[in-house]
Every structure is written in C-alpha cells, then in structure tokens.
Amino acid sequence: MADEQPIKIEKLIDTGDRFRVHITGLEEPLVVSAVLVHQHRLKAGIVLTPPQLDQLQAEAELAECDRAVARMLGMREHTTGELRAKLRQRQFSREAIDRTVKQYTDRGLLDDAHVAVKLVRAALAKNPAGRAYLIALLRRKRIDRDLAMQTVDMVLGGRDETAMAVESLSKRWPSLRQLELERARTKAYHYLSRRGIGYDAARAAFEELYNRENEDSDH
C-alpha cells in the first residue's frame, strides 16, 4: 500500500487583509487571517498532520463567520434568526454559526428583544396596526413566537384599537371619500383587516371619519 501524500502547504498568497493558503489535497485554498498565519506559523513547505489541518480549517471558518456577522451588523441590526439564515446560505457549519452567534449575544451585540421593540415601535409610528399584524411582522424577521407576542402586548399596552384604526384609516381617507359609501366602507374594512384591526374597531373608525366628514361639510 502506497504511503498517503503528506499534507503540505504549497504556497501562501497575501490578498491584503487575508491569506489564501494552498494545501495539498484541498481543491480550494484555505482563506485565513494574518492572525492565524502568525499563530500557526504558517509558511510554504511545512507539513501538517490531519488533526492540525482540521483545527486550522475550523479556526479559519470561525474567523470568516465572525467577519461575516460583523459586516452584516455593521450595515444594520439583525435578529438572531436573520443572521442564522444568512450564515446558513453562506454554507457555514452549524458549529461555527452557534459559536459566533453566542459570542455576539454574550457581548450584547445581538439582542432579539431590543430589536423586536424597535421594530414594533417603528411600525406603529409609521402606521398604526393591530396585534396580529405586528406579531406577523416580527415573525417575518425570524423572531421567536413567544417573544413576538410578549413584545407586541407590552408595546401596545392599553392602546385603544379604535383610536389606532382612526389614525390608520385617516391616511387613506382622502381617496376613500371619493368613492360611493358602501364601496368606501368595504375597502376601509379590508384595509384595516390587513393591518390586524378587528371588525368592531374598523366599523367604529369608519363611522367616526364619515361623520366627521359630514359635519365638516355642513359648516
């Protein structure tokens, strides 16, 4: 039986911020940071044992995963679920994803509860919506269902649903008021339903705006 080919570093290519390490037996070069090059004293010609190669690959992947997360969080806040999904798309291993996410969570740089509150408040400031709509919004951001429900209930607190319906429908009123009454009513109900507003609040909101419109026209 012929001896197995030794695992040898054939060459290192400096790409500016990282190194591409060409290793015997690997189809693609291993991308590593300058820190790893220094720590492992990597240079062309040295031979690695299989355990050394496994460790180097694991550390290189972890460093790349950290780099990806830092870049994504530098662009905007992400939920844990969003980050995990993007990292899986980039084909990082589950172990690398778990370790990196835990690191950022422990440092307070990943906080789903904080992001959830900001998302709900921003949504309400833009256009009031009901509980179901807001929970669905958070779920689309891959926030845990229990946390989504707790956050929405906390932020909504004792807000009056009819008052929210009036505020939301007011944004559509200039176009609705041009329509025949029943058509306007139907469109208003459908619109508020899509925003998670219940039927009773939607009806009360429509009647309030309709009556307000008629009172204004009488003066």
For residue range 64-122, what is the model confidence (pLDDT) as tens digits?
999 999 999 999 999 999 999 999 999 999 999 999 999 999 999 999 999 999 999 99
Give residue 117's identity as a one-letter amino acid code: V
User: Across residues 7-24, what is the average pLDDT?
Assistant: 91
Average pLDDT, the chain: 92
> Based on the structure, what is the number of domains in the chain?
3
- Domain with 56 in it: 7-106
2 part of a folded domain: no
173 part of a folded domain: yes
pLDDT at residue 219 greater than cutoff 90: no
207 part of a folded domain: yes
CATH code: domain of residue 20 = 1.10.10.10
In this predicted structure, what is the pLDDT of residue 217? 58
Tell whether 100 and 135 lie within a shared domain: no
Tell whether 198 and 165 lie within a shared domain: yes
pLDDT in tens, 42-59: 999 999 999 999 999 999
Q: Which helix (H) or strand (E) holds 104?
A: helix 94-106
Sequence-separated contacts (24+) of 144-150 with Cβ below 8 Å: 144/81, 144/112, 147/112, 147/113, 147/116, 148/116
In this predicted structure, what is the pLDDT of residue 3? 58
Tell whether 178 and 149 lie within a shared domain: no
Tell whether 80 and 145 lie within a shared domain: no
Query: Do 55 and 73 contact (CB within 8 A), yes or no?
Result: no
Residue 2: pLDDT band with limits 50, 70, 90: very low
In this predicted structure, what is the pLDDT of residue 1? 39
In this predicted structure, what is the pLDDT of residue 168? 95
Tell whether 213 and 169 lie within a shared domain: yes
12 part of a folded domain: yes
In this predicted structure, what is the pLDDT of residue 25? 86
Give the chain's end-to-end CA distance (angstroms, integer): 103
Tell whether 191 and 141 lie within a shared domain: no
Strand order in the sheet with 30-33: 30-33, 18-23, 7-14, 47-48
In this predicted structure, what is the pLDDT of residue 213? 82
Tell whether 133 and 195 lie within a shared domain: no
pLDDT in tens, 130-184: 999 999 999 999 999 999 999 999 999 989 999 999 999 999 999 999 999 999 9
**For residue 177, what are its two tokens?**
């008021």
Q: CA 134 to CA 140: how far, in whole Å?
A: 10
149 part of a folded domain: yes
pLDDT at residue 127 greater than cutoff 90: yes
Tell whether 102 and 119 lie within a shared domain: no
